[in-house]
Chain A
Amino acid sequence: MSDIADLPVPQQRPTGGPAIALRGLGKRFGDLIAVKGIDLDVPRGSFFGLVGPNGAGKTTTLSMVTGLLRPDAGHAFVLGRDVWSDPVATKRLVGVLPDGLKLFDRLTGLQLITYAGLLRGLSRELASERAAELVAALGLTEAQGKLVVDYSAGMTKKVTLASALVHAPRVLVLDEPFEAVDPISAATIRRILTGFVESGGTVVLSSHVMDLVERICTHVAVISDGLVLAAGELDAVRAGRSLEERFVDLVGGSTEVVGLSWLRTSSD
């Protein structure tokens, strides 16, 4: 870890301040402004859900927090460190599960997790020990010697999560961690993440399954069209209604179906 004196934002107390702070974070792709200057605080020890419609900028935002996509404007801080001016120190604190990116899938599951540990600078003994433990915890023991390319979508998610956990991060950034995961595996992952939060870690996840976010998250932010529409504690955001109703309200989309009468073939 880098020298404490070098840190850009000195902390009064080591436990104070948000786990993730975004300040005016923005990104454009050609003519499209995907993220329009987001300000957001993710409190330490929170289980934070990022919800939004398709194309809202969730993945773009998370990628700028994890160092995968360089922002065009603004800053992202993790535990007080600027992701883009102090990447090495920041990256040690963060575990990442991206969505839609490939893996080194010609490695076996166990090899991949160990590889992630070694890249993080763990010793080989520690990396392989933790990999074995993670494989057991995530129910991948039977498949640990198979190539990741032969895994199902759900198993691939689990092995990616294990790779994100192997270096014992303080903050987890997970993009769609429950997509394509069966209910039993989802319950396992949820237990692991809840335990992580209870022991002081912070989890940020994106999802468009409102029920799930409502059930497990303590805090939530609704983003749409590159802007934060609402953020805060779950109960404050949903304001006495279900998250789904509130979400539809905020995003402003209509759920009425117009037309498509020819699709109603029940009269045949």
Chain B
Amino acid sequence: MVAHLVRLKLALLRNIFRRSRAQAIGAIVGIVYFAVLVAGLAVILASFRASLDAARVVLPLAGAAGIVLWTVVPLFSFGSDPTLDPGRFATFAVPHRELAVGLVAAALVGLPSIASMVLSAGVVVAWSHTPASTLVAVVSTFIGLLTAITTSRWVSAVMTNAISSRRGRDVIAVLGLLLLVVVGPAVSFVANLGGDLRGMATATARVVAWSPLGWAWAAPGDVAAGEVGTGLVRLALAAALLVLVFALWSRVLRGEVDDPRAVSRTDSGTSMGDDLGLLTRLPGTPAGAVAARVLTYWRRDPRYQISMVMTPLVPLALLIPFYTGHLVWTPLLMGPLVSFLVGWSEHNSVAYESDALWLHIVSGTSGRDDRGGRLVPAVLLAAVLVPAYVLVGVAVAGRWDLLPAVLGLSVGLLGAGYAVSSVMSVVLPYPVAESGESPFNAPPGAAGITMAAQSLASVATLGLASPTLVLAWVAWQGSEWAVWGAGVVGLGLGGAVGLTGLRAGARLFDRRAPELLATLRRV
């Protein structure tokens, strides 16, 4: 059974490369990118071998952070892996214990786990002061890794139960979002305390090392420093924790398999009678209908609500370094950042509808109507947010003299974002959470292509806006002509690039709509 589950996971990993060529290349680029990142981090971790004192502060904190990430991140961004959803095994009559072990083993075979293992190897190197400390490091790091993964499975299973109704999912989506929004500023606030960062880290590390999160990660340090007794106590505690977490996971699993969630869907309770909603409030043309439909989706689908809530809030984070670190320029970027987000976030819009796009194809909807109508909601959103944030940012920074440059940069980024999105959503749709699933539920094996496509969209957007970016930077350096230059170039180029991208996207849609549908059915 364990071997079966691991093979299933391996097959999923292999299938990343069996999609279309563009997607396979995207996945490879993403994986290489992250491999380099992870390898670099592992080397940094290993370099703490040079100083045992520093290692005893940093590594327990890093390990604890790893466990927290393993618990939180799968729920909020990459999603609990649906292939490992215990409910799916309800009909197979697999012994509980085997299933519990097998699902954890299968979770070990995945890109995030492999990355964690590489990082763990770095940790083991850092602790390799004596044979004893190396041995303890190997054992305790492995225990720590298993604890992280088992906790992640357990929390996912508990949450999946909680969010099996759509209403519950929507609520949790919004709550999780608020949490994320609060955590970001809190972390950067602490980071900006400056002052006695070192002392605080040492104190925190001491506390964390005695908390369940830190036992496994602190034990090798104790042994290396000669406090063998303490180290063995922590190691024992870490092992006990793993057993406890595994027991909890087994119990939830047993509940899931013996009494699977109701298969029937719960009614969303919406009833509008014969009201046509937004369809009557926008022009009665194909493009107007597409715009009305997308706006309706923004209101009803939690997957869109996330970006709806996030987009206006993210720029506020730029105020934190301004108030805590006295960085004068960060508020000026609020307008450009919100522009970037609004334009960029549309780059996978078609994938959210999945193959429902067939209706556009059989009705012969033109690329112009499809692309244009789809952008209307994003344009409306930008029309409200961009001027507001440009003005607020300039006012907070007290640099009214830079207003033309900031406005130009914002419009330039907006146009570039629309252009990239219009083209990319036709050419390179990548898998997203399905309609009705938790917005945090990502399809298996999609992390690589997701990262690659998102990076590509970002780079392309910045590239298309680069003339304005350069001028805005020159303006910031104090050049007066560049202030107006960035303003004029930004407005002109933003508009031109946006329209050109829209037209290119429309032509691509006209030519490739059936191929797009085929890709959407595969992803």
Give the B-binding residues of A (Cβ under 8 A): 66-70, 87-88, 91-92, 94, 96, 98, 101-108, 110-111, 114-116, 118-121, 123-125, 127-128, 132, 144-147, 149-150, 163, 167
Contact = CB atoms under 8 A, between A and B. Distances in A.
Contacts of A149: 265, 268, 435-436
Interface stretch (B270-278, B418-426, B465-473): B270-278
B363 A106 contact: no
B514 A118 contact: no
Contacts of B297: 104, 106
Given A69-B518, A118-B289, A128-B276, A96 B362 contact: yes
A103 B268 CA distance: 17
A133 to B, nearest CB: 12
B360 interface: yes
15 contacts: A67-B361, A88-B364, A88-B366, A101-B358, A103-B356, A105-B435, A107-B296, A108-B270, A115-B359, A118-B279, A119-B359, A120-B363, A124-B280, A149-B265, A150-B270
A184 to B, nearest CB: 22
Contacts of B353: 102, 104
B513 to A, nearest CB: 8
B284 A127 contact: yes
Contact of A118 (B267, B271, B274, B288): B288
Contacts of B356: 101-105
B286 interface: yes
A251 B449 CA distance: 43
A98 B363 CA distance: 13
A70 B514 contact: yes
Given A106-B296, A114-B276, A70 B359 contact: no
Most buried by A among B296, B356, B436: B356
Interface in B323-360: 353-356, 358-360
Contact of B514 (A69, A103, A105, A110): A69
B76 to A, nearest CB: 23
A118 B265 contact: no
Nearest to A163: B359
A115 B284 contact: no
Contacts of A116: 359, 363
B300 interface: yes
Interface residues on B, range: 35 or more
Contacts of A66: 362
B289 A145 contact: no
Contacts of A108: 270, 272, 277
Contacts of B265: 149-150
Contacts of B81: none
Given A94-B362, A119-B365, A124-B284, 19 more contacts: A68-B361, A91-B363, A98-B358, A101-B521, A102-B353, A104-B293, A106-B300, A106-B301, A108-B277, A110-B274, A111-B277, A115-B293, A119-B290, A125-B284, A127-B284, A145-B274, A146-B267, A149-B436, A150-B267
Nearest to A103: B356
Given A67-B514, A149-B268, A102 B276 contact: no
A125 B292 CA distance: 16
Contacts of A127: 284
Contacts of A145: 270-275
A32 to B, nearest CB: 14
A144 B280 CA distance: 16
Interface in B419-466: 435-436
A132 B274 contact: yes
Nearest to A122: B284
B435 A106 contact: yes
B135 to A, nearest CB: 51
A111 B358 CA distance: 17
Contacts of A88: 364, 366
A205 to B, nearest CB: 16
B77 interface: no
Pairs of residues from A and B, 5 with the lowest C-beta to C-beta distance, nearest first = A124-B284, A118-B289, A91-B364, A145-B272, A96-B362
A167 B354 CA distance: 24
Contacts of B515: 70
A138 B280 CA distance: 23
B358 A68 contact: yes
A99 to B, nearest CB: 11
A66 B293 CA distance: 23
Contact of B355 (A96, A101, A150): A101
Interface in B235-278: 265, 267-268, 270-277
Contacts of A123: 284
A12 B358 CA distance: 33
A132 B293 CA distance: 18
Q: Which of A88, A150, A167 has the most CB of B within 10 A?
A: A150
B285 interface: yes
B514 A68 contact: yes
Contacts of B84: none
B279 to A, nearest CB: 6
B272 A118 contact: no
Given A107-B296, A123-B284, A124-B284, A146 B270 contact: yes
Nearest to A105: B435
A144 B274 contact: yes
B517 interface: yes
A121 B360 CA distance: 12
A174 to B, nearest CB: 12
Nearest to A96: B362
Contacts of A167: 363
A104 B294 CA distance: 10
